[in-house]
Amino acid sequence: MEQMDILWKYQNLDIMVDNCENQRKNSSLRQRLIYLKNYLTDQQTLLLKLEEEIDRKNIVLNRINHEYENCANEIESERHKLEADQVKTLKHLEQMHDDALGIKAKLTKKSHEITTLLAEISVIDKKLANLRTNFSKAKKEYSDVKVKYDEELEVFQRESAKAKSNRDDVGVDIDASLLEKYVKLKDRRSTAVAMIENERCGGCNMMLAAILLQSIRDKNDTAECENCGRLLYLQGKKS
């Protein structure tokens, strides 16, 4: 068998190896896993953010609750003074009245702030509950898909190993320098070897010069397409 015949066969097997790899990369299970992984990462970040927000709001709530209690205590102590008959002058009583109005206004303000904060916390709580439900659903789906993908991967890997071994068996009979050329070309082009069809390069469809075609027919040297640089393969050439 001529070198180019073997190389052509080698390329076909090499394409099969690539196909196995592409099948693995494009597997819908694999795509789904990548999607779910990104989703879970995003949701986790959001979850942490919301939890931090709730913590911050709870700290503020505690502070306001404390302020509210202080105001209530102040009013209680004023009332105690009245009951204990400690208020002796009208002026004192008027002063107490003014103070009480001030504290009452503060109490109303604090009460309003507490209501607003509680409502905000409740909204975040609902969001968090929703998020946690979706998160655990996605997590469950991830592990289910992972099991299926692992099974699929095993098949891909088995097929790929078989294709590689077939390819490498053929590769043993190819001259090292030619195989090296092939590998370099393949890095640049999707295929390194092009079949000559109707006097054209099967890779780029360029019409080949008559002199080049003649030389390919006559000689045993490898020839390259002047346009795309692929190694040219003439099928059925008699050696």
21 with 112: CB under 8 angstroms? no
Q: How many residues bind Zn ion (CB under 5 A)?
A: 7
Instruction: Tell me whether residue 232 is exposed, middle or buried, using C-beta atoms within 10 angstroms of its C-beta: 0 to 12, 13 to 18, 19 or more.
Output: buried
Cα-Cα-Cα-Cα dihedral of 76, 81, 84, 90, to 10°?
Answer: -140
Name which position in 74, 228, 234, 237 contacts Zn ion (CB under 5 A).
Answer: 228
Q: State which residue, 147 or 207, has the beta carbon closest to Zn ion.
A: 207
Q: State which residue, 171 or 203, has the beta carbon closest to Zn ion.
A: 203
193 with 11: CB under 8 angstroms? yes
Least distance from C-beta 226 to Zn ion, angstroms? 8
Least distance from C-beta 141 to Zn ion, angstroms? 48
- For residue 225, state whether it binds Zn ion (rule: CB under 5 A): yes
Q: Which stretch binds Zn ion (CB under 5 A): 10-18, 30-38, 62-70, 196-204?
A: 196-204
Near Zn ion in 198-217, by CB under 5 A: 201, 203-204, 206
- For residue 231, state whether it binds Zn ion (rule: CB under 5 A): no
Q: Which stretch binds Zn ion (CB under 5 A): 55-63, 136-144, 146-154, 218-226?
A: 218-226
- Which residues bind to Zn ion, rule: CB under 5 A? 201, 203-204, 206, 225, 227-228
